[in-house]
Structure 1
Amino acid sequence: MTREDSSPGDAAAPARRVRPSWWRMLGRDRAAAVGAVVLTLVTLVALLGPLFIGDRAQRQDLDASLRPPSLGDGPYGLLGTDVLGRSMVARLIEAAATTLSVAVPAVLCSLVIGSALGLWAGYHGGRRESVAMRVADVILSFPSLLIAVVVLYVFSPSALNLVLILAVTRIPVYLRTARAEAAELRSRLFVDAARTFGTAGRMIICRHILPIALPTLLTVATLDFCFVMLTESSLSFLGIGIQPPDVSWGLMVAQGRQYLQTAWWVTVLPGLAIVLTTVSATVLAAWARIATDPAQRWRLTLPTRRRTASAPVPPEMIP
């Protein structure tokens, strides 16, 4: 069809906007893409790695004590050995599984419990909201690391106790975030309409409030994952976290700190794993916060060089 054949109505019709895919937005942000790749690799190593290494993480060889990284000792000698001659590759893989088995359940438990209580308190308001917020304030008044140290010192240090205490101390973070979201959304027109038609409060929370608050809660959970993992590493470094024969990245740093000058790889490698994982999660959380915000998502569709320049007006704001 030629230009003359086109009708005026077709020319006046607005162009159909195509929502950019998540993969395309992630590919345009190089830092977030690298962070996603790192987290994916860490997760795959933690899930599948123990199936291949067998008992190599605990197998001792005193003749190979503190052997430096070498290409001639096979794949398990690429990163050297520790003081007992155990492969650093195998121990890093097993430590990744242990660290994630503590951080992920703790974050999920605190996310579910805190979000449910926060949405319930924020939607209903009144005395329920006041009681929930006062409980959150009491828990937040004590440093979470200090509470974990005291509780784990009184009770036996174990992975289960570590997950429970970290989950309890992080519940107020999600409770306050969810409460703020629900308190702001409960006066919206669509919530009033659902309430007018007799929809139960539980269904309003699940169908109307939760989908809007979920991106913010997931972003907070991603950042909180970094905090929980660093807390677990700190407790294991102090000797009241993961206990031998289990191994975590924080425990590996603690066990190798006295060999830092003679065998740097024993401490530096697990410390580097902690840094890479937490930084990747932080960068990915910042990207996810923009990607899930309809008012800011358009920034991720711009070329990388144009993001640092003056930001143009988004298409939604053009009259």
Structure 2
Amino acid sequence: MTATLDRPDDTAAAPKRPPRWWLLLGRDKLAAVAAVVLGLVLLTALIGPLLLGDAATRQDLNASLRPPSFDHGITGLLGTDILGRSVLARLVEAAGTTLSVAIPAVLFSLVAGSAIGMWAGYHGGRRENIAMRVADVILSFPSLLLAVVVLYVFTPSVANIVFILALARIPIYLRTARAEAAELKSRLFVDAARTFGTTSWPTIYRHILPIAMPTLLTVATLDFCFVMLSESSLSFLGIGIQPPDVSWGLMVAQGRQFLQTAWWIAVLPGVAIVLTTVSATILAAWVRLATDPAQRWRLTLPTSKRGKRSVTTEVTA
């Protein structure tokens, strides 16, 4: 008679891996739609101008203020403006211009503000006070007003718009990163890293940044909406993107005088702005949950049960 030892089931004993991010995204229909909208906007900005050629700048006075229709090919699908230029082609061209301002401005302010904020929060003392006072000085000026003044003095261009919008948004990331670093620097794993002789920047990069990144990414996604709306506002005021370049805000400004006779010139760029910003806001809320291990479980629940489960958890706590 041979004795058999009970062996634990390897499959049952193995820790369950969290679902892939695309599976979590697929369970949230609203966030999935927002991701698809943003993906289409990005894809349109990248390959749209290559497919449409010079349709955005080609003028045809015989086709002036032609309403949207299917009778004049794809370029006439959304109508034409006062100079007979295709509104669809100009929307595609403007998407690239708008994103070429919003994305670099957000990335620059995210990197610079997060680095300075975590450095100041980790060290504390005089460094933290100096960084916070500089942030307070920048925040004391409304970012849009600061951009108006700077762009009025200097020549309005894409580079200048990116620089001034990025500079105005750095304090947002600086204060967020400083708060995260100041709270995390007293944690046991950070004390252990310092005990073993790890210097400040490796400690920040390896131990503080991964925990602070979900919050910073959420702020960056929301800030993308603000920067895009700021660029549109500056272009609408005439001190942003200048012709022959085109952006969504500039298209709204150029079409506002034709609202009663040719509404599509101004309304369609406005709809593009609204759809992009709303989609980015929805996706930011999803990213915040997906990147937070303590909250990711909510995304595994059916959409109809998330609110009930949240209320039950709060009452139990």
Cα deviations across residues 224-255 of structure 1 (Å, max 9, x unaligned)? 00000000000000000000000000000000
User: 5+ unaligned residues in a row in structure 1: which ranges?
Assistant: none
Q: Give the structure-1-normalised TM-score.
A: 0.93
Structure 1 residue 298 displacement after superposition: 0.3
User: 5+ unaligned residues in a row in structure 2: which ranges?
Assistant: none
Structure-2 separation of matches of 1:178 and 1:9? 45
Structure 1 residue 54 displacement after superposition: 1.4
Cα deviations across residues 193-246 of structure 1 (Å, max 9, x unaligned)? 010000111110111111111111111100000000000000000000000000
Q: Give the structure-2-normalised TM-score.
A: 0.94
Q: Percent identity?
A: 75
Count of aligned pairs between the two proteins: 310
Aligned partner of 1:233 in structure 2 is 232
2:52 pairs with 1:42: no
Q: Which residue identity does 1:32 align to in structure 2? A: A
Structure 1 residue 18 displacement after superposition: 2.7
- Measured at CA, do residues 312 and 15 of structure 1 come closer, stay the same or move farther in structure 2, by a change above 3 Å? farther
Aligned partner of 2:201 in structure 1 is 202
- Within 5 Å, which residues of 2 pair with 1:1-319? 16-311=15-310
Structure-1 separation of matches of 2:160 and 2:292? 36
- Measured at CA, do residues 232 and 139 of structure 1 come closer, stay the same or move farther in structure 2, by a change above 3 Å? same
Which ranges of 4 or more aligned residues in structure 1 deviate by more than 4 Å? 5-10
Structure 1 residue 310 displacement after superposition: 3.6
DSSP 3-state at the match of 1:95:
helix
- Measured at CA, do residues 313 and 16 of structure 1 come closer, stay the same or move farther in structure 2, by a change above 3 Å? farther
- Measured at CA, do residues 185 and 78 of structure 1 come closer, stay the same or move farther in structure 2, by a change above 3 Å? same
Structure 1 residue 55 displacement after superposition: 1.1
Cα deviations across residues 157-186 of structure 1 (Å, max 9, x unaligned)? 111110000010000000001101110110
- Measured at CA, do residues 6 and 25 of structure 1 come closer, stay the same or move farther in structure 2, by a change above 3 Å? farther
DSSP 3-state at the match of 2:308:
coil
DSSP 3-state at the match of 1:270:
helix
Structure-1 separation of matches of 2:46 and 2:131? 37
- Measured at CA, do residues 48 and 6 of structure 1 come closer, stay the same or move farther in structure 2, by a change above 3 Å? farther
Q: Which residue identity does 1:87 align to in structure 2? A: S
Cα deviations across residues 262-318 of structure 1 (Å, max 9, x unaligned)? 11100110000000000000000001011111111100000112113244888xx9x
